[in-house]
Amino acid sequence: MAIPADDIVAPFSLDGAPVRGRIARLGSAALDPILRRHAYPRPVALLLGEALALAALIGSLLKVEGRLVVQAQRDGPVTLLVAEHHSGGLRGYARLAEGASASLERAHRMPPAALLGGGRLALTLEQAQGPAYQGVVELDGETLAACAERYFRVSEQTETSIRLAVGEVIGATSTWRAGGVLIQRVAGDSARGDTAEDWNRASCLFATLTDEELVDPSLAGDRLLYRLFHEEGVRMSEASPLVDRCSCNEQRLIGVMRQFPSVELQSLVEPDGMLHARCQFCARTYLIAPDTVFDQASSA
């Protein structure tokens, strides 16, 4: 069975080195609609695309059912960046400061700290059962991948290398695409011995990976891995699909609205007699009958 070239995430391993990894390729089903939905300035689209690829890579590493959230919030041109992965579904959103869009129109790529105004990158696992777990790292790297690598080294104490790339491929139509590869060093033991030399060799091969290869629509994931690691005997396992999928729903929005005072909610009723709620992620607008909210809303 042919492996899809796009909108997948898959694990892989090397026969000749104690290295495990993940590869993600995002295209017309998982990335393009998210970035087109809000018409972001190019540097913002690039950063959000990288965050979505990163969420897919790290989310696929999870051993438990849950939602992986990549988030940063500060006072820069981008005041909020959120990318989420849950069971193959991706959603993402970037909120811009007032007037920031015009100032960024002629810019290209910018470091995360320049767009967000510094701060920290938070990686949060919201488990289906059990407490949430969060790790943070300073946004002081030149790329989002560099920040994530530092998180794994410091918080997880795992040697990790990550490459992320986003690009707009122009054909009959233009399509936003992203690619990401993550590799991790497997710790040595009595059987493997010291894995440092093998890791260094694999890291040198990994360093030859280019942005063009990561977003090339004609280069499938298994072929890309073979090009990188054929000397080590790379094995790519079954791929899982990725898709643009928002988790918003009417009942969740009603639950949020019920936390507001009834007087405040009454002032939000539109001329058509309905409450209008718009999801920031997918831009879907919900028309909610006030009676479904007011009967349980706080009267404070």
pLDDT score of 234: 96
* Confidence (pLDDT) at 240: 95
pLDDT of 178 > 80? The answer is yes
Which amino acid appears at position 159 of this protein? E
Interval 26-55 mean pLDDT: 96
**What mean pLDDT do residues 205-231 have?**
96
In this prediction, residue 72 has a pLDDT band, given cuts at 50, 70 and 90, of very high
Is it the case that residue 298 has pLDDT exceeding 70?
no
> Residue 2 above 70 pLDDT?
no
- The Cα angle at residue 21 between residues 16 and 22, in degrees rounded to 5: 140
Share of the chain above pLDDT 90, in %: 67
What's the chain's average pLDDT?
Answer: 91
Q: Quickly list DSSP for 131-164.
A: --EEEEEES-SSSHHHHHHHHIIIII---EEEEE
Residue 25 has which token pair? Answer: 């390729």
How far is the CA of 75 from the CAs of 8, 87, 143, 215, 219, in angstroms? 34, 31, 19, 31, 39
Full DSSP string of 56-91:
HHHHTT-SSSEEEEEEEE-SSSEEEEEEEEETTEEE
> CB within 8 A of 131, min separation 6: which ones?
none
Average pLDDT over residues 92-97: 96
Q: What is the dihedral of CA 2, 23, 216, 88, to 10 degrees?
A: 70
Give me the domains of the chain, ranges plus CATH numbers: 8-244 (3.55.30.10), 250-294 (3.90.1280.10)
Q: What is the pLDDT of residue 187?
A: 82
Whether 6 contacts 27, CB under 8 Å: yes
The pLDDT value given to residue 4: 66
State how far the Cα of 264 lies from the Cα of 260, in Å rounded to an integer: 7
- Residue 140 reports pLDDT greater than 50: yes
Residue 259: what pLDDT?
85
Q: What local confidence, expressed as pLDDT, does residue 297 receive?
A: 47
Listed residue (202, 107, 115, 214) closest to 164, CA to CA: 214
Mean pLDDT in residue range 103-125: 91
- Amino acid letter, 278: R
In the predicted structure, residue 265 carries a pLDDT above the cut 90: no
pLDDT per residue over 245-254, tens digit each? 998 888 888 8
